[in-house]
Structure 1
Amino acid sequence: MDSHNSHDSQQQTIVESEHYNSTMSFQSPIELKHSGPGIASFIISLVSLLGYIAIVAIAGALIGPYLEPNGNGFIGSPSREMVTNLGTLGIVVIVFLLSNLIGVILGIIGAALKNRKKVFAIIGLIMNSIVLVVLIAFFVISIISATTIT
């Protein structure tokens, strides 16, 4: 009987040690940080999208007074100030396009970093790429249509 109690206490000790080992060997998952270049790419894409929206609104406000009420074209020749302002908007569009290109590069870098979350890098890469492709296609279509109209 004494050996039976000894055997029970050994089993209890083994069970307790297994419980202790199982609770001590549990490791919490590693918490990954977001990649800095990925966050920068995402922010660049948001800022540029808002910038493009503002540019379209400003260009519409600049051209609006020169359009005929029935929509058939311009009332008269645009002022020098309006042409200068539209030129400035064109330069701002080019700056935003360059920032989108930088955003694509940062998105690629952020997605390539190891031990970092890639969510913002991928979203920024996709958004910047889409904006670049759409605007480049818009410019190509505009140039083709401008050269074919005589």
Structure 2
Amino acid sequence: MKKQPPSHPSEMNTSSHPEITFIPPVEKKHSGLGITSFVLSIISLIGYIIMASLGNAMLEPYVTPEGITQPTQEALEAMTSLAAVFIIIVLINFIGFILGMVGAFSKKQKRSYSVIGAIINGVVLLTIVILFLIVLIA
């Protein structure tokens, strides 16, 4: 009859190899900070897309071939509200970037969502900053 290999580490004969020990693999969980960062990056991307569409729809009636005409008071108030929402989305984006960076340096949990969230949030923030600099220079 053939002898079965030991099923438990305590059944192993370690007398001939005392330096061999069995260490079970540790199952790491995904970082809560990383998942939050990733979700915030998706929310901010959707927010920027919606804001760009709304901004374009608000400005389109006032752009003519001769130039830009004066918007009505209601349109100016709506544009101001849109600017406030833009600031909130930028803050969400920044918070997502910070959470992604914190989660990316965690050694006890998986880092994949943290890295993805930090990259997406960072690239979007960098793009927003570059666009603002282009507008200021022009």
TM-score normalised by structure 2 residue count: 0.82
Does residue 121 of structure 1 match 2:121?
no
In the TM superposition, what is the alpha-carbon distance from 1:27 to its structure 2 partner?
Answer: 7.0
User: Identity across aligned pairs (percent)?
Assistant: 37
- Which 5+ residue runs of structure 1 have no aligned equivalent? 1-11, 146-150
The counterpart of 2:54, out of the listed 34, 58, 73, is 58
Aligned match of 2:12? none
Q: Secondary structure at the match of 1:34?
A: coil
Matches within 5 A, 1:1-150: 16=3, 19-21=4-6, 23-25=7-9, 29-68=25-64, 71-74=65-68, 76-145=69-138
Q: Secondary structure at the match of 2:42?
A: helix
Runs (4 or more) in structure 1 with deviation over 2 Å come to 23-31, 71-74
Amino acid at match of 2:134: I
Q: Secondary structure at the match of 2:5?
A: helix
- Which 5+ residue runs of structure 2 have no aligned equivalent? 10-21
Deviations 1:12-43 (A, max 9, x none): 6xx62xx332x334776432210000000000
2-structure distance, mates of 1:120, 1:39: 6
Give the CA RMSD over aligned residues: 1.9
Instruction: Tell me the number of residue pairs that the alignment of Structure 1 and Structure 2 aligns.
Output: 126
Instruction: Looking at secondary structure, tell me which structure has more helix per residue.
Output: 1
2-structure distance, mates of 1:85, 1:132: 24
TM-score normalised by structure 1 residue count: 0.76
